[in-house]
Structure 1
Amino acid sequence: MGRAPADVDAVEVHPPVLRRRRARHPGGVVSRVKSAWLVAAAGVAALAGTLVLARPGRAATHPEPRPGVTAERVLPPAAVPHTPGAAEAYAAARSAPRILDGVYCHCDCSQHSGHRSLLTCFESEHASHCDICMGEAMLATRLAAQGSGLAAIRQAIDAQYGR
């Protein structure tokens, strides 16, 4: 088969073939505009994702512990649902009610469930279904057992669970 000379434009040599290809695969200005918009949209989505994920941890407004607060309203062991980690977390809540009453719960249950503090999460089955509540309680009681004060416990919880 013969080849077209290198200095001849392909459009001149095979216009019917090129017209058929364009009919099947329109590659004109419209598709270039579409791809420019797709690239721009992907860039905006990547920038938005970076901004959301790069936010520093938010320091919450922690409640002040109520004087004389006790663990009497925390669910007893027999009433705690059998979810992984729940028994340990409820036991931790019963062991340090004054600490948990002074900690904001980062699952934002104060907004959707009307909870006052992290301790309130353990007065119902709510905490047994929430990894944030259970994790915060375990961290708070572990730090309290190591001698950390309420301010240090709040700071550690904000650093780990704050958004």
Structure 2
Amino acid sequence: MLVDVQRNMIRPPTPVPSAPAVEAAVVDLLTRARIAGVPVVHVRNNGGTGDPDETGTPGWELVHDVVGGEHVVDKTEPDAFAGTLLADLIPSGSRVVIAGMQSEYCVRETALSALRRGHEVVLAAHATYDDDTDATTIARRVERELAAAGVSVGGEIAF
């Protein structure tokens, strides 16, 4: 599952600080998933008027093309399962591998929601923006929280 891998977060003018690294990890993950025939779901945030990911704007567009058999789930909440058909696309009890943006918002909420639904969850790659704290510190804090909740963080993803 690619969460909010959208132009406004990966491409200029305001990419996340670690955009090159997270993008390389996403490309690798997506390529290997496609080769292995693993189902891929692209989750796209539908921002409001004036937001960097305002629906229909260049920032809203997905970075990666959707190929045959892949799904796009549009959301308006940090939890990609909230108010969407995402749960219908993921078989009960299956493993969910997550990569995307933003660590402390949509990645965190979607991972925790998948855990509550009984999925094994693996966090493969994620990034966020600097805030009062630098982005790397925020990302590591989220990793510790998710690991404590039962998410497998990092490591090689085997398909």
Same fold, judged at TM 0.5 (above): no
Normalised-by-shorter TM-score class:
under 0.3
**Larger strand percent:** 2
Q: Bigger radius of gyration, 1 or 2?
A: 1
Q: Which has the higher helix share?
A: 1
TM-score where L is the length of structure 2: 0.23
